[in-house]
């Protein structure tokens, strides 16, 4: 299978702790790296996890709180020093450019590449990125400031050729593409060979959804329904349910309830509050509601 | 002796490596913490080194390159979350406020304390901070952008009372302060008791100088002459002497030559270029010129 792997660079919340860094992730789709959020220290984690800076062309910023974006300037500076060229996209709230541009113009004025701010939809959903292998859709979360969730979906690939049958029927190369696209084939004598004889099913299309920061919000369910992996913030445990409500964050139980209702295959929790000495209580709370839960940890790699 | 300790939070240069973080240090003077530069990840290192955020009231920024100041916003946000009050001073190039203020106004608009930007002298030296125990002087370094060196000097303390003699002469409490200040004492019968009988020498006044980033620049010598500890950047070894010249950095040999000419007691080198796989070559080059050299490392604490 081609790569579809999530790398956790940081999974803490705003206050630094001994255990966690602020939010940042990298989704590796066939060796293209898509960064999601870029908290302070993200570039140091990239180095530590041996993820190639040069393979990142897009960052998706969920929202404009510092613990999700203070690593941007350092990362861009480094990309400049590494001699990067071309274009670099930051998908973010429409206000971000106004805030970041003067800062970058001062500190990163010699960048040999172009930084393009792509505004995310606010309070609405839309397809925000597409290439031959994936589609990224943004949808609204519920937080103190506008916050966006993202779902990364592999596109359905072409059917795989059944090499033995293709050889048996002596199919000429020029017809292979059409067969991979799903068409039947007609030989020189007019025999119709059904497509399913000549091909095997295409690879399963995988999907990953990122939801942080957000309060418990059932309106996200249609966007994340059935995904292979859902990252949902679980800043608090139920003991701090009121605090979660006040700050528009979720408890572990709420994250798991969303996972359950959306019928996702696996739940990954993170964005742990600094108030907890370890993440065990949070993990167990989520797991008691949704069994297939894992707790994010720095430098974790999850093959989806 | 009262605390006068240097903590190394980061001692790498701009490109992140597996070994080093960008520049940041904390000088602990009698449990007041003075931060010098604040590269990305400085707040994470504070946590790791168990240095108390609440004891920092002043940051001194040598110059406005990202690897020396991209940790500021994260640190200030965290101080806000920790409920800090009062005033917080950033001693920095006069242009800094224009660049940082809008950024902070956006991301840290709810800070419960006041951030004051104190402009550093540009191309000139001056006393920039003073309290009852230390004086901080800023002086110009030589870099691609205006860069400031700092020297932290303990003030000469009062003389220490010789408890036995004070008791023997039955000196009343009201006269002790005058004696600590160095005056002789006259008893009720008119006998003059010389000050040196009643006191011992004051503690030695210690000093620390920070010089980074800078090319080899002999004009800094009068400011750092005889200091107990000199931190001088040694970005390159002599193999990259030309590169050092081009980028207004120093080689390890040059750092050691400055230490030698300034007659400092100990040299600490750092700001290592990412081009070196380890810092041994740089260290040995400096040590061959100035024997009492140490190589900075993250989480190092040096008692001065």
Catalytic entry in A67, A213, A228, A279: A67
- Residue B278 falls in the annotated catalytic set: no
Interface of B with A in 10-29 (CB under 8 A): 14-18, 21-22
What CA–CA distance (Å, rounded) separates A23 from A271?
7
Give long-range contacts, CB 8 A cutoff, 24+ apart: A200-205.
Answer: A200/A159, A200/A160, A200/A161, A200/A162, A201/A159, A201/A160, A202/A156, A202/A157, A202/A158, A202/A159, A202/A160, A203/A1, A203/A2, A203/A154, A203/A157, A203/A160, A205/A153, A205/A154, A205/A155, A205/A156, A205/A157
Our CA angle for A16, A22, A26, nearest 5°, is: 155
Q: Which of B17, B40, B78 sits opposite A41 (nearest CB)?
A: B40
Closest CA to A53 of A74, A91, A23, A84: A84
Residue A266 — very low, low, confident or very high, per pLDDT cuts 50/70/90? very high
What is the average pLDDT across A283-294?
Answer: 98
Using an 8 Å CB-CB cutoff, list chain A residues near B275. Answer: none
Task: Check B77 against A66: CB less than 8 A apart.
Answer: yes
- Reported as a single tens digit per residue, the pLDDT across A75-92 is 999 999 999 999 999 999
Q: What is the pLDDT of residue A110?
A: 86
- Reported as a single tens digit per residue, the pLDDT across B101-111 is 999 999 998 89
**CA A167, A170, A172, A177 torsion: positive or negative?**
negative
- Site from A10, A40, A100 to mutate, B interface, most B CB atoms within 10 angstroms: A40
| A172 vs B: CB within 8 A | no
Catalytic entry in B31, B37, B67, B189: B67
Average pLDDT taken over every residue of chain A? 96
The CA distances from residue B299 to A174, B8, B10, B47, B272, in Å, are 64, 5, 8, 11, 16
Which pLDDT tens digits describe chain B residue by residue (304 residues)? 789 999 999 999 988 888 999 999 999 999 999 999 999 999 999 999 999 999 999 999 999 999 999 999 999 999 999 999 999 999 999 999 999 999 999 999 889 999 999 999 999 999 999 999 999 999 999 999 999 999 999 998 889 999 999 999 999 999 999 999 999 999 989 999 999 999 999 888 999 999 999 999 999 999 999 999 999 999 999 999 999 999 999 999 999 999 999 999 999 999 999 999 889 999 999 999 999 999 999 999 999 9
What CA–CA distance (Å, rounded) separates B129 from B151?
10
Average pLDDT taken over every residue of chain B? 96
Q: Closest Cα of chain B to A268: distance in Å? A: 24
Q: What is the pLDDT of residue B8?
A: 98
Task: Check A40 against B14: CB less than 8 A apart.
Answer: no
Residue A120 — very low, low, confident or very high, per pLDDT cuts 50/70/90? very high
ipTM of predicted assembly, 2 dp: 0.89
Task: Check A78 against B47: CB less than 8 A apart.
Answer: no
Q: What is the pLDDT of residue B277?
A: 87
What is the average pLDDT across A143-159?
Answer: 94
Residue A1 — very low, low, confident or very high, per pLDDT cuts 50/70/90? confident
What CA–CA distance (Å, rounded) separates A8 from A51?
11
What is the average pLDDT across A233-257?
Answer: 97
| A53 vs B: CB within 8 A | no
Counting one residue from chain A and one from chain B, the pairs whose CB atoms sit within 8 A come to: 89
Task: Check B107 against A65: CB less than 8 A apart.
Answer: yes
Q: What is the pLDDT of residue A158?
A: 86
A287 φ/ψ angles, rounded to the nearest 5 degrees: -65, -30
Task: Check B74 against A73: CB less than 8 A apart.
Answer: no
- Between B109 and A250, the more confident residue is A250
CB B14 within 8 A of CB B22: yes
């Amino acid at each position: 299978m081609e790569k579809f792997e999530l790398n956790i660079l940081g999974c803490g919340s705003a206050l630094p702790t001994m255990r966690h860094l602020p939010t940042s992730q990298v989704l590796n789709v066939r060796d293209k790296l898509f960064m999601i959020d870029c908290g302070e220290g993200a570039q140091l984690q990239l180095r530590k996890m041996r993820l190639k800076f040069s393979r990142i062309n897009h960052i998706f910023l969920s929202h404009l709180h510092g613990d999700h974006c203070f690593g941007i300037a350092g990362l861009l500076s480094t990309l400049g020093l590494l001699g990067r060229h071309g274009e670099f996209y930051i998908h973010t709230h429409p206000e971000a450019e106004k805030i970041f541009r003067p800062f970058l113009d001062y500190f990163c004025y010699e960048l040999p590449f172009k930084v393009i701010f792509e505004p995310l939809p606010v309070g609405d959903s839309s397809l925000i990125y597409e290439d031959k292998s994936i589609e990224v859709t943004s949808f609204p979360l519920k937080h103190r400031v506008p916050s966006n969730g993202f779902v990364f979906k592999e596109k359905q690939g072409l059917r795989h050729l059944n090499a033995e049958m293709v050889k048996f029927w002596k199919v000429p190369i020029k017809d292979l593409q059409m067969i991979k696209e799903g068409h039947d084939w007609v030989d020189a004598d007019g025999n119709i060979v059904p497509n399913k004889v000549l091909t095997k099913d295409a690879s399963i299309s995988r999907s990953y959804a990122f939801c942080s920061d957000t309060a418990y919000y059932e309106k996200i369910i249609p966007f994340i329904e059935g995904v292979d992996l859902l990252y949902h913030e679980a800043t608090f445990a139920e003991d701090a349910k009121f605090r979660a409500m006040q700050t528009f964050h979720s408890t572990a139980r709420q994250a798991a309830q969303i996972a359950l209702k959306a019928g996702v295959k696996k739940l990954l929790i993170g964005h742990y509050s600094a108030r907890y000495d370890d993440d065990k209580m949070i993990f167990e709370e989520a797991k008691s509601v949704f069994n297939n839960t894992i707790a994010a940890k720095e430098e974790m790699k999850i093959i989806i």
